[in-house]
A and B are shown apart, each in its own frame.
Chain A
């Protein structure tokens, strides 16, 4: 074992601490908690918003439940963009929201996706009934709204029992797409936003899941009470404006 010189070590630790405290206090940057299905969509919109208003925005992506848990426990976010209405409703119920109810900002679409070299090709809904299908990636039904939709759709299609042993559960909808795109899962029930990205359009194909087979994926937003509320309202209004709605629709999120 070597003995580090404590003075050097302490100096380094001190510098690291000073560094982090300087940057954690970036006032002026609006922090957004965004559902994982927004990961392929939001960065471009945030850039447009920053260009128009000069307002910097940092987005954190995770499953809606993860984000709700963080916000309920004091997560430093100004705006919560969930993939459903129930998680923002929890934030409202806890008295942390700057509005009386979640504001619907988009409607998500669930699709079945497979790589071009997947054994599930040629892909159709019937691929889910094929005995040679080994794994189906879905998002966690308890904490990812798309996972809840997938569970409902599989039940409606009468596939729950047949696929029970083939399901692999991802933490959020972005990881679900990753499981299918990396080829580890034969198919994935993923968000249209992921399926429409350049990467996934090149790697595979998708078919839509009938929309009447799952409850609508109405996505709600809440502004969190606090010093960033005014900026957060501005970003939410921007996302609700007609030109942005059109862009959202092109990228897989319809108007609510």
Chain B
């Protein structure tokens, strides 16, 4: 089994999940309670990765963010290298690709909170940050777990984007899904089977965690 790829995939998924939780808590809160008229625009944009083929994202990351555009050159200067063929590139792709898997559960979570609890907290004149930390987050904890598990597993399962912008560098961009693909191409079916079984087990357990709590939180 390709241990380097396992480590890389889990590291990529872990960092992606942390970033996505940081984005999805404020964004989910805003999508649940915000009143801006252009909110549907944001909702539609967040959901885009659900419907678009990963190749669309791969194409834009490779070409639009590549060294032939001003945007890509800026990224290159900031990072010190082009986005393609780097861990930072995969991270960028993963965050975009898994965005709806983290934001949508959080939005549902915030929406499920009884308005009266929120109003009571506001009446007691608690600071907004305090309300978020002490009242809202404990209430949406099951949704937070769902968002984290889905973001993590979906990133581990990412393939198309990585195949297009990764460049198969061991330990940097050669993730588990690419490793399985390569093993199948090389007719190493036994190895592919080992890696695939591991992924199957981990993914099933992760989903079991979510559905095991299903009686408490409906998502």
Contact = CB atoms under 8 A, between A and B. Distances in A.
Contact of A69 (B81, B84, B184): B184
B169 A168 contact: yes
Contacts of B68: 182-183
Given A63-B185, A65-B185, A140-B168, A171 B67 contact: no
A68 to B, nearest CB: 8
Interface string B154-174: 000000000101011100000
Given A168-B167, A182-B68, A183-B68, A143 B82 contact: no
B63 interface: yes
A252 B108 CA distance: 58
Contacts of A183: 66-68, 82
A170 interface: yes
A184 interface: yes
B187 interface: yes
Interface string B36-61: 00000000000000000000000000
Given A142-B186, A171-B163, A134 B62 contact: no
A90 B186 CA distance: 12
Contact of A184 (B84, B168, B186): B84
Contacts of A170: 167-168
Given A134-B81, A168-B169, A171-B163, A184 B66 contact: yes
B85 A184 contact: yes
Interface in B74-104: 81-82, 84-85
Contacts of A149: none
Given A182-B66, A184-B62, A143 B168 contact: no
A66 interface: yes
A193 interface: no
B76 to A, nearest CB: 10
A184 B85 CA distance: 8
B167 A137 contact: yes
If over half of B's interface residues share one DSSP class (helix, strand or loop), that class is named, otherwise mixed; here it is loop
Interface in A192-239: none
A169 interface: yes
A184 B169 contact: no
Given A168-B85, A182-B66, A182-B68, A66 B185 contact: yes
A40 to B, nearest CB: 19
A66 B182 CA distance: 9
A185 interface: yes
Contacts of B165: 184
B187 A69 contact: yes
Contacts of B168: 140, 168-171
B163 A169 contact: no
Contacts of A105: none
Contacts of A142: 182, 185-186
Interface of A: 63, 65-66, 69, 90, 134-135, 137, 140, 142-143, 167-171, 178-179, 182-185
8 contacts: A137-B167, A142-B182, A143-B186, A168-B85, A182-B84, A183-B67, A184-B66, A184-B82
Given A134-B81, A142-B186, A169-B168, 18 more contacts: A63-B185, A65-B186, A69-B184, A90-B187, A135-B85, A140-B168, A140-B185, A143-B186, A168-B167, A170-B168, A171-B168, A182-B67, A183-B66, A183-B82, A184-B62, A184-B82, A184-B165, A185-B85
